[in-house]
Structure 1
Amino acid sequence: MYTNTTTFIGESATAFATEIGIVIRNDCPMNFHKWDLIPEAMKTILYEKLEGKFQLLRTNKAFMKYVDGRLHAQWVRTRGALSRHWKENGGKTDPQRARLQVHSNCRSQDDWNHLCDYWELEKTRKYSDNMEANRAKQVMISRGGSRSIANHAYKMV
């Protein structure tokens, strides 16, 4: 269900979120380290995959900005899950062992090797250590949830 809020709400929001996860895991290469570096041709392929199940109003710039934002957020979550898996399997202390433990949601061995190469860089390790130290300083962790205001309103009706 598409509304003038330029978002999906209700049952379609859940189905859309699920499909975005599937599209990112199956079709988006992980060899780009920033969402903005992913070529437009690759993003177009992701949009076309979504169009197989949803009506994307490609001419509506606000709506496509929403779709791109949702794809970006899922891409970040997927990379985060892969990074966590790498760390949990000895990535920081035994990178060779972590390389052998490919995450089940990783598209390919090439993607996994590329990510491992990236995480093993000194610059990346320093950045990761700094971010972990910053998160450890947080007094209150966010409890905002993931449901949008539009979906909260939909549930109340």
Structure 2
Amino acid sequence: MRSAKSRLTVKFDFDLMQAICDNTEVFNNEVGYILRTYCDLKYKEWRFVPEKERAPLRDKLRTLFDVDLADANVRKAIDKQMQRAWHNYRRTLREHFKTVGGAGDLTKAKGKPYEGVSESDWEYLCNCWSDPSYLQKSLKNAESCKKRKWISRNGSKSTARHHISRGVELNAHVGHIETWRLRHWHPERGWVSVEAESKYEEMMELRREKSPEDLTDKQILEKVLGRESVRLFGWGRSPTGSKRSKGDSNIPTYTQLMDRVGELSGTVEMMKKLLIEKNIMPPMSHVPSDHCSVPLNRGSSSIDRGQHVDG
């Protein structure tokens, strides 16, 4: 491992839960490489990957980057980037699955695994992607995508990173609306949709009515697009945004609870490790767990109830 001085510095924005600095691209690429190379693929979703699997992946980042893994926020930000890399990789693998036979010719598809993926991992994924319940869910997701009114031009970068690359601070009062416009408007082809243009005009009308001190650009985005949409675009929610609407709830979602469980598990594992290193606690015997609920027999395609592989 390199010394701390020779390793690259990474700064995280804990509201956005992502790296925002000069080394962001290098960091994100390394996260993707580690995920693709070392992560066990026999989990249906990233949230099912246990802490004992995540911790070694995070630790590999310390070879190139000076990151404080004792900080719970740092671990959570790294896990969020690993989750993004997980989804991107699974999407690539599924596209390959469809091109080599897919669910229509499962035997052929199983015989042509993606480069670098083990036969057992590939068979597991093929069984998941050919399961009737998964195919039904995919069909519903495809129908939902067709109803989307516009798609941004972000590419692999989040809106926040595009914003910073323009030389504008994330917490500035203005600049967010222009960043949003640039991600939904093309200098030659114009707006990505009529709806996007209409939303921009609505934003500018509010901008003309209110001063930046009374209503920031980010708050206008939240007002026009909805707070959840702004969060999904990568901005994070404004701490001084508009009041909670009647339909909002203080009850956490299942995903939020699972994320919290993951954080607490990480803290427990780290404390155990420290106690064992100081000989306060005897080493624990690790019993391998069966996290692959999909049978690996040829031709099998059953899936656990209530869980679906992500695409």
After TM superposition, the score normalised by the length of structure 1 is: 0.87
* Separation (CA, whole Å) in 2 of partners of 1:55 and 1:105: 28
Tell me how far 1:154 sits from its aligned partner.
5.2
Q: Tell me the number of residue pairs that the alignment of Structure 1 and Structure 2 aligns.
A: 155
Tell me how far 1:13 sits from its aligned partner.
0.8
Instruction: State yes or no: 1:2 paired with 2:44.
Output: no
Q: How does 1:31-50 map to 2 (within 5 A)?
A: 31-50=42-61
What is the percentage of aligned positions where both structures have the same residue?
Answer: 24
Larger Rg: 2
Q: What is the CA deviation profile of residues 125-156 of structure 1, one whole-angstrom value per residue up to 9, with x for unaligned ones?
A: 11112112221232312334424535642552
- Whose helix proportion is higher, 1 or 2? 1
* Separation (CA, whole Å) in 2 of partners of 1:24 and 1:4: 19
Q: Does structure 2 conserve the Cα–Cα contact (< 8 Å) formed by 1:20 and 1:74? A: yes
- Quote the residue 2:250 is aligned against: none
- Quote the residue 1:140 is aligned against: 150
Q: Does structure 1 conserve the Cα–Cα contact (< 8 Å) formed by 2:39 and 2:53? A: yes
- Quote the residue 1:73 is aligned against: 84
Q: Does structure 1 conserve the Cα–Cα contact (< 8 Å) formed by 2:42 and 2:125? A: yes
* Separation (CA, whole Å) in 2 of partners of 1:151 and 1:53: 24
Q: Does structure 1 conserve the Cα–Cα contact (< 8 Å) formed by 2:12 and 2:77? A: no
Q: Does structure 2 conserve the Cα–Cα contact (< 8 Å) formed by 1:20 and 1:70? A: yes
| AA of the residue aligned to 2:79 | D
SS at match of 2:64: coil
* Separation (CA, whole Å) in 2 of partners of 1:83 and 1:4: 31
Find the partner of 2:125 among 115, 119, 124: 115
* Separation (CA, whole Å) in 1 of partners of 2:64 and 2:20: 13
Q: Does structure 1 conserve the Cα–Cα contact (< 8 Å) formed by 2:39 and 2:57? A: yes
Change (3 A) 1:32 1:4: closer
140-149 or 36-45, which moves further after superposition? 140-149
- Quote the residue 2:37 is aligned against: 26
- Quote the residue 1:92 is aligned against: 103
* Separation (CA, whole Å) in 1 of partners of 2:148 and 2:12: 37
Change (3 A) 1:81 1:41: same
| AA of the residue aligned to 2:143 | A
- Quote the residue 2:201 is aligned against: none
| AA of the residue aligned to 1:3 | K
* Separation (CA, whole Å) in 2 of partners of 1:139 and 1:8: 29
Instruction: State yes or no: 1:102 paired with 2:113.
Output: yes
Q: Does structure 1 conserve the Cα–Cα contact (< 8 Å) formed by 2:100 and 2:108? A: yes
Change (3 A) 1:148 1:134: closer
Query: Which stretches in structure 2 are left out of the alignment for 5+ residues?
Result: 1-8, 169-311
Instruction: State yes or no: 1:126 paired with 2:130.
Output: no
| AA of the residue aligned to 1:114 | Y
* Separation (CA, whole Å) in 1 of partners of 2:67 and 2:58: 8
Change (3 A) 1:4 1:51: closer
Asked which structure has the greater RCO (Cα within 8 Å, sep 6+), the reply is 1
Change (3 A) 1:4 1:74: closer
Q: Does structure 2 conserve the Cα–Cα contact (< 8 Å) formed by 1:56 and 1:64? A: no
58-67 or 33-42, which moves further after superposition? 58-67
Q: Does structure 1 conserve the Cα–Cα contact (< 8 Å) formed by 2:10 and 2:67? A: no
| AA of the residue aligned to 1:73 | R
Q: Does structure 2 conserve the Cα–Cα contact (< 8 Å) formed by 1:8 and 1:16? A: no
Query: Which stretches in structure 1 are left out of the alignment for 5+ residues?
Result: none
